[in-house]
Amino acid sequence: MIAYIGLGSNLGEREKFLKKAQQFMKEEGITILKCSKIRETLPYGYVNQPLFLNQVVEVETDLSPFELLERMQKIENMLGREREEHWGPRTIDLDILFYGDEIIESPLLIVPHKEIQNRLFVLEPMVELNANCIHPVFNVTMITLYEQLLEKLSKD
């Protein structure tokens, strides 16, 4: 299955955490097909914190969505992720953005990630990797969501 994982870090050696997360994904049997460039971005939600480095990776996996979530949380823990405050600073954040075209809504996992359409730091790298990827809930491409968000932001 093709999946897209969002990576973010705003504590410590941010780029090193992104690279280590990718290394650990490979060690967990997750094949990385493509990586977006790394972008420095403003915090989202709770804004009184350091700048983030963000990236999206396209992966191939035989893991189920819940197994993939378990592996992402394991990698976060290995890299010192502490969950003290929602949207707070973190060494690493790994979000399953898409898992094929599946739609999953459970207490443990929501896929596609529910905030994709509101986050430039996700849409820009998604457009870079696969502009024609279709969001299975909204049934539009990443480039369309990206353009819609740019238009919305230009009016705010």
**CB 4 within 8 Å of CB 56:** yes
| pLDDT of res. 44 | 72
Reduced DSSP (H G I as helix, E B as strand, rest coil) percent helix, strand, coil of the chain, to 5: 35, 25, 40
Instruction: Name the fold adopted by 2-114.
Output: Alpha-Beta Plaits (3.30.70)
Average pLDDT of the chain? 92
Tokens of residue 86, six digits: 């929602």
Tokens of residue 18, six digits: 């992104």
| pLDDT of res. 42 | 85
Which one is predicted more confidently, 109 or 77? Answer: 109
| pLDDT of res. 90 | 74
- The residues that are catalytic are 81, 90, 93, 95
**CB 88 within 8 Å of CB 49:** yes
CA angle 84, 120, 60 (to 5 degrees): 80
Q: Where are the domains of the chain?
A: 2-114
Judged against a pLDDT cut of 80, whether residue 142 lies above it is answered with: yes
| pLDDT of res. 43 | 80
Question: Mean per-residue pLDDT for 19-33?
Answer: 97
Q: How far apart are CA 47 and CA 98, in angstroms?
A: 25
Report field, pTM of the whole predicted structure over 0.85: yes
Question: Long-range contacts: 79-83, Cβ < 8 Å, 24+?
Answer: 79/17, 79/20, 79/21, 79/24
**CB 89 within 8 Å of CB 80:** no
